[in-house]
């Protein structure tokens, strides 16, 4: 298929064709960017039903979840870019210090060149296409690497991209990441790498990028806590945490990884958690069309092992033939257990009691700088205490996940949960070089204070204008 390759060794000619196309300036104009984004939207709309079907085939992703958290969010990103692209591209005038007069100063966003986007499997359409929207809006060419763990979805994404873009503007590369990415990065210098995935693989990407000084955006993960204060609406907190945890069978980088619940409301919280989970998926979630499956056997076995590390309050039945694990809640967990050290990425929710706020800080500090954090409290001082004392990428007060759905908000990690951010204008900026430019006057006479020979008088003037 044109514009794609399934070889572990990507032909250099295909990569150089992208570079040549970028240098031709064909991607730089407003009309070129606008038309490319419109073409992507049309192609995505055309293949929506097919995309929904293959996401179900790859991991039993419910149709509603697939549209809301994959396809719908991509449409929102495209629409926002189309509505604001002209403003984003326009140079921004900024003040010029008196010492530099007569001159004016502007900020010019410039496209980077050829960028590499490496996507994971858990939201296989969104995490390919959302950063691609930013790359195209910024005027770049791109190489896109979908996840091989969701092969049916990767094939349809390939079809969408090939129909939307010229073959020399976006190249889709298929195959195992370990086989495809290292030789490609060694042979060709990308102008930016955008990676979404695990911290372990993120470190490898950063290491491979370092020799050629390629800038990297890393969207990673971590153990994202939900903190439930005794002043919270406990029933509502349990409902929203259950939704966030079991959405996509827990395979969400910003899912509630574990819940820290004040001891005074622990019993009420656990009862509400059980009630709402049953409401969502019925008494037998296996029969529910609204509950996804683990993506592969490796992840199924990893998550299943966590069930032996604490007391299973409810759920936890597992069927390897379907890669199915019932939504489960664990209590009475030692902090040294693996489920409290590793990102779970599955439908298992540890619940830990606390009495003093410092206990929460100490627990989170075991796995610091989570990608997300959720605080449930009616008390503003409690909300501020946790959001100001804990470093985290982003999150919500009295809800979960919602910040990801707002394209006006940046999404990004801090520390081990990532570097850089994107969504909306931030996606445009991450794939742009923000260039500062001073234009000096050729007509007005300049003071000449900055030219030699220097003098005491010139120094006095300098100190006056510079402060």
pLDDT tens digits along 413-453: 999 999 999 999 999 999 999 999 999 988 877 778 888 99
Pairing relation of β-strands 170-173 and 141-145? parallel
Q: CATH 3.40.605.10 occupies which residues in the chain?
A: 4-220+419-434
- Asked whether residue 392 carries a pLDDT value surpassing 70, the answer given is yes
248: pLDDT strictly greater than 70: yes
d(CA 377, CA 183): 50
User: Annotated active-site positions, please?
Assistant: 219, 253
The pLDDT of residue 2 is 40
Q: Helix 48-59 crosses helix 151-164 at what angle (to 10 degrees)?
A: 160
Mean pLDDT of the chain: 95
Residues 6+ apart with CB under 8 A from 17: 167, 168
DSSP H or E run through 274: helix 266-281
Q: 254 vs 98, 277, 385, CA distance in Å?
A: 47, 19, 21
Instruction: Give SS3 for 379.
Output: coil
Helix axis angle, 177-187 relative to 12-23, nearest 10°? Answer: 60
Q: Judge whether residue 129 has pLDDT over 50.
A: yes
Position 4 pLDDT exceeds 60: no
**3 state DSSP class of 433:** strand
For the segment 272-276, the average pLDDT, to the nearest whole number, is 98
What's the pLDDT score for residue 466? 87
How far apart are alpha carbons 424 and 87 in whole angstroms? 13
Q: Distance between CA atoms of 9 and 431, rounded to whole angstroms?
A: 25
> Which part of the chain has CATH 3.40.309.10?
225-408
So what's the pLDDT on residue 34? 98
Q: What is the pLDDT of residues 282-324, one digit of tens each?
A: 999 999 999 999 999 999 999 999 999 999 999 999 999 999 9
CATH of 225-408, one of 3.40.309.10, 3.30.750.24, 3.40.980.10, 3.30.70.920: 3.40.309.10
pLDDT score recorded for residue 1 = 41
For 201-228, what is each residue's pLDDT tens digit? 999 999 999 999 999 999 999 999 999 9
Judged by average pLDDT, the poorest of 143-157, 324-338, 438-452 is: 438-452
Burial class (CB in 10 A: 0-12, 13-18, 19+), 94: exposed
pLDDT score for 465: 86
**Rounded alpha-carbon distances, angstroms, from residue 57 to 63, 150, 308:** 11, 9, 29
Whole-Å CA distances, 411 to 239, 283, 310, 396, 443: 24, 35, 33, 12, 46
- The pLDDT of 115-131, averaged and rounded, is 97
Regarding the domain delimited by 4-220+419-434, which CATH topology (the fold level of the hierarchy) does it fall under? Aldehyde Dehydrogenase; Chain A, domain 1 (3.40.605)
* Distance in angstroms (rounded) separating the CA atoms of residues 295 and 460: 70
Alpha helices in 149-198 (DSSP H): 151-164, 177-187
Whole-number Å distance between alpha carbons of 195 and 17: 23
């Amino acid at each position: 298929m044109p514009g794609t390759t399934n070889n572990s060794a990507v032909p250099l000619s295909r990569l150089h064709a992208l570079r040549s196309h970028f240098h031709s300036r064909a991607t730089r104009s407003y009309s070129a960017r606008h038309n490319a984004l419109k073409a992507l939207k049309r192609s995505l709309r055309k293949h929506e039903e097919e995309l929904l079907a293959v996401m179900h085939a790859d991991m039993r992703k419910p149709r509603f979840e697939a549209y809301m958290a994959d396809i719908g969010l991509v449409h929102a990103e495209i629409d926002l870019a189309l509505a604001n692209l002209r403003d984003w591209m326009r140079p921004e005038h900024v003040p010029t210090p008196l010492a530099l007069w007569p001159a004016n100063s502007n900020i010019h966003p410039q496209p980077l060149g050829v960028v590499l986007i490496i996507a994971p499997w858990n939201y296989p359409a969104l995490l390919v296409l959302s950063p691609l929207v930013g790359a195209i809006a910024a005027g770049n060419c791109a190489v896109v690497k979908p996840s091989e763990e969701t092969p049916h979805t990767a094939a349809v994404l390939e079809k969408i991209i090939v129909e939307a873009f010229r073959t020399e503007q976006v190249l889709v590369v298929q195959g195992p990441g370990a086989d495809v990415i290292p030789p490609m990065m060694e042979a060709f210098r990308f102008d930016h790498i955008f990676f979404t995935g695990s911290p372990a693989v993120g470190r490898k990407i950063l290491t491979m990028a370092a020799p050629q000084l390629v800038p990297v955006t890393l969207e990673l993960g971590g153990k994202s806590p939900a903190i439930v204060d005794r002043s919270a609406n406990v029933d509502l907190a349990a409902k929203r945490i259950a939704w966030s945890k079991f959405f996509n069978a827990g395979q969400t980088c910003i899912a509630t990884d574990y819940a820290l619940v004040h001891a005074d409301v622990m019993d009420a919280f656990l009862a509400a958690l059980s009630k709402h989970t049953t409401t969502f998926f019925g008494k037998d979630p296996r029969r529910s069309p609204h509950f996804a499956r683990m993506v592969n056997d490796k992840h199924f076995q990893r998550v299943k092992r966590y069930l032996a590390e604490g007391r299973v309050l409810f759920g936890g039945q597992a069927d390897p033939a379907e890669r199915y694990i019932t939504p489960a809640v664990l209590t009475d967990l030692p902090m040294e257990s693996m489920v409290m050290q590793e990102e779970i990425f599955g439908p298992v929710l540890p619940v830990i009691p606390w009495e003093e706020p410092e206990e929460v800080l100490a627990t989170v500090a075991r796995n610091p700088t989570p990608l997300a954090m959720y605080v449930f409290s009616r008390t503003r001082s409690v909300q501020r205490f946790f959001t100001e004392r804990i470093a985290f990428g982003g999150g919500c007060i009295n809800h979960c996940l919602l910040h990801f759905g707002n394209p006006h908000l940046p999404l990004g990690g801090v520390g081990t949960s990532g570097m850089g951010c994107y969504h909306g204008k931030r996606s445009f900026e991450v794939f742009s070089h923000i260039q500062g430019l001073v234009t000096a006057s050729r007509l007005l006479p300049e003071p000449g204070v900055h030219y030699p020979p220097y003098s005491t008088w010139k120094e006095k003037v300098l100190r006056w204008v510079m402060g």
